[in-house]
Amino acid sequence: MKKASILVLLFLSINLSGCGSEASSQSTFKDNFTIGAIVEDNVQYLIPESRELFSSEYGEADQPFMQKQEEIALKIDSADVTAFTAAIRSGIEKSIINSGASIVGHGSGGVTGTSFSIQYRENEVYGIINVWGVRGEGTNFFLIVLITES
């Protein structure tokens, strides 16, 4: 009986410790990140007007990937797009580092030159943030951010 009780306690402690690690499978960076705050820090590049931010998250702690997507509609003169995109990239990098994560890689591309990605790691969580800047009609500009973590 005593051996059975010890085995049950051991089994429960292993299962409970496993549950705790699943619940913390997100990074502090992803939990606290919003592109809206970084855009607000760089309004000097934008045409003053209201901005709409849309956000959604996908995935559960027991799935291999979790995603957070944000989109924001802006007004910007085409001459300011390059400087604005560089400021957004710098703001995201600072946000990653300030959250306790480390940057492990970069990527860029796209025809417009306004797309980039940053790979990061926070403890056992690996993530990538992909950012696309899409020009609309006139001064319309859309910033799309997708964070994927595993």
Q: In the chain, where are the structural domains located?
A: 25-149
Q: Residue written as tokens 């595993």?
A: 150
Annotation: CATH topology of 25-149: Protein Transport Mog1p; Chain A (3.40.1000)
Check whether 113 has a pLDDT greater than 50: yes
- pTM, two decimals, is 0.77
Task: State the average pLDDT over residues 7-14.
Answer: 34
pLDDT in tens, 48-84: 987 888 888 877 766 777 889 999 999 999 999 999 9
Residue 115's beta-bridge partner residues? 109
Question: Hey, what's the torsion of the CAs at 84, 88, 91, 92, to 10 degrees?
Answer: -170
Q: Residue for token digits 């956000």?
A: 55
